[in-house]
Amino acid sequence: MSDETIKSAAELAAERAEQVQAEQVAEAANAETLSSTGEAASTSEPTLAELHQKIASLTEELEAAKDKSVRLVAEFDNFRKRNARDYGEMLDAAQAKAVSALFPVVDNFERAFQEAPTEGDWTPADPAGFAKGMRLIRDGIRKILSDAGLEPIAAEGNPFDPNLHDALTQMAHPTVPADHVSAVHAVGWKKGDKILRHAQVIVSSGPAT
């Protein structure tokens, strides 16, 4: 056998070995691919037991959320009722304080009229003293209003202001200029910038012609 024939046979054997090795590598790669695909499929498709576990977990979370919502609604309702009760108590206390300030005034009225008959005309035995007592009672009432932050609205002699005054009528006046308040029928009251009652006034139309 010649050297060339031996060499050719060796080359064929080597090529065959390389081919077999390549086939083995391809088979191994294919097996690995199939294994990875199976793992991916098993990962993306949970089992029935896992689905039941997930449903149970979500149900538990939902029940916890519902329980929390019910508690919040109950707490808010209690808060609303508590605030309403506190506000009512504060209002009652403020009203009681305001009314209690009138007790001395009522007492003074009772003393001023204790000798007056229940019906018919009556003339006080001391008219000057009676008038002085009435003025003291009036001043006491004004002090109560002042302590509450109320102020009388200036009117007489001032220019008529529809924001402060309510005109009952307009009459001629010898000394008060036209469109000025010549007389006050009922005092107006305000607290700060808030008008509680407009002053009821008579407006001058100027001197009679």
Find out whether 94 and 100 touch, Cβ atoms under 8 Å. Answer: no
Q: Check residue 14 and give its pLDDT.
A: 61
Where do the domains of the chain lie? 3-72, 101-148, 151-209
Whole-angstrom distance, CA of residue 63 vs CA of residue 6: 85
| Residue 60 confidence (pLDDT) above 80 | yes
Find out whether 186 and 200 touch, Cβ atoms under 8 Å. Answer: yes
Whole-angstrom distance, CA of residue 131 vs CA of residue 198: 27
Question: Which one-letter amino acid corresponds to residue 29?
Answer: A
Average pLDDT, the chain: 85
User: What does the pLDDT average to over 148-155?
Assistant: 94
Lowest mean pLDDT among 92-101, 115-124, 136-145: 115-124
Whole-angstrom distance, CA of residue 197 vs CA of residue 186: 9
| Residue 134 confidence (pLDDT) above 50 | yes
Nearest to 188 by CA among 160, 157, 166: 166
* Distances in whole angstroms, Cα of residue 207 to Cα of each of 171, 176, 182: 9, 8, 11
Nearest to 98 by CA among 139, 138, 149: 149
Whole-angstrom distance, CA of residue 137 vs CA of residue 107: 10
Q: Check residue 6 and give its pLDDT.
A: 46
Two structure tokens written together for 186: 């009922």
Architecture of the domain made up of 151-209: Roll (2.30)
| Residue 7 confidence (pLDDT) above 70 | no
Q: Check residue 41 and give its pLDDT.
A: 46
Residue, of 98 and 7, whose pLDDT is higher: 98
Planar angle of CA 198, 185, 111, nearest 5 degrees: 105
Residue, of 16 and 148, whose pLDDT is higher: 148
User: What does the pLDDT average to over 65-76?
Assistant: 92
Residue, of 24 and 46, whose pLDDT is higher: 46
Lowest mean pLDDT among 10-19, 72-81, 197-206: 10-19
Q: What is the pTM of this model?
A: 0.56
Q: Check residue 82 and give its pLDDT.
A: 94
Two structure tokens written together for 160: 């008529």
